[in-house]
Amino acid sequence: MTGDCNEKNRGCDLLVVSPHRDDAAFSVGLTIRRWLACGWPVKIINCYTISEYAPHRSELNRAAVSDLRRAEDLAFAQHLGDGIEFVDLNLLDAPLRLCCPVDEVCNRALAPDRVRVEIELLGDHLRRIVNRGVLLIPLSVGNHVDHIIARQTCIRLADLCSLAFYEDLPYSALAGPEGVAEARLATETLLGRSLQSIVIASGDASVKKMEVVKLYPSQVTESEVEQIKGYTAYTGGERIWLDETSSHSFQTALGSRAGNDADKRIGN
C-alpha cells in the first residue's frame, strides 16, 4: 500500500455512494480502478436499487430489471478485478418512490417534510455502513432528486469520514461547465467550505471509460456513450472535488503530491 491514511481514524477505504447501480461506474470507474491498483479496498453503496428503469429492455418487469442491473454491476466488478464490495440498500428509485414519470426526476421539487423523511431514511442505512475512510458522493449535477437526497444525506456524515464529490455522468456532459459550477457552489453552500478539484488522469481515459460504460447496455444509448466519452476527453479523466481533509486522503492513497494548478492531476 502507498501510505498511511489513518490520520483521525479516517482511513483509506473508499466508499462510493451510487444512487443507482450505474452511477459509480459511469462517474468514477477510473478512480475506482486506480484506488484498487494502489491496494486499498473499495465499497460501492447502491442506494435506490429497486427499479423499473431499463429503457432498452422495456419488456422486463421490475424484478427482471433489478436482476439485470445487478448483473451489469457484477460485470463491472469482474472487469476491474478483485477488491470491490457491493452493498445494496434495496430502496425504491424516484419514479417508483415518488410515483412520477422518469422525465420528471430532475429538478423535481419536494416539500421540506418529504426531504427530511428521505434524508432520515437513507441516513439510517448509511450510518450502519459508514464509519471511516473517504466517502465519494455525487455532486448532483443535473439535479436528479435521488442524487440530491444522497448528497444532502452524506454531507451529514462528515463527522464519520472524509467527503469527496464526483461529477455525475452523463448529467455533467449535458449540463456543461456552467451546470457543474452551479452544483459545486450549491455543495459548498451546504458544506460551509470551499472545494478544490483534482483529476484522476490517464492518457487513454476515454478508452477505459468506454470499456466500463458499455458494460451497462440496458441504461445507455450510443449517443449517451459518446457524450460520456467526450466529457472524459474534455476533463482528461475524472474530476473529483475535495476539501482539505479528503484531499490529503486522496493524495496519500494514490501516492501523489500534486501542484497548485486549477485542476490538480493524479496520473497513472
Give a yes or no: residue 27 inside a domain.
Answer: yes
Whole-angstrom distance, CA of residue 184 vs CA of residue 141: 8
How many domains, the chain? 1
> What CA–CA distance (Å, rounded) separates 69 from 22?
8
1 lies in a domain? no
User: How far is 23 from 140, CA to CA, in rounded Å?
Assistant: 11
Residue 3 has pLDDT above 80, yes or no: no
Q: Is residue 252 part of a domain?
A: yes
Evaluate whether residue 118 is within a structural domain: yes
Return the higher-pLDDT residue of 146 and 253: 146
Determine how many CB atoms are found less than 10 A away from the CB of residue 99: 8
Cβ burial, residue 108 (10 Å; 0-12/13-18/19+) = middle
Grid coordinates representing 49 are 436499487
Using a cut of 0.85, tell me whether the model's pTM lies above it.
yes
Task: Calculate the average pLDDT of the chain.
Answer: 90
Supply the pLDDT for residue 260.
35
Range of the domain at 58: 7-266
Please check the confidence at residue 6 and state whether its pLDDT lies above 90. Answer: no
255 assigned to some structural domain? yes
Q: Is residue 197 part of a domain?
A: yes
Q: Is residue 100 part of a domain?
A: yes
Question: What is the rounded average pLDDT of the residues 222-248?
Answer: 92
Domain-embedded: residue 2: no
pLDDT mean over 151-175: 95
What CATH number is given to the structural domain containing 26?
3.40.50.10320
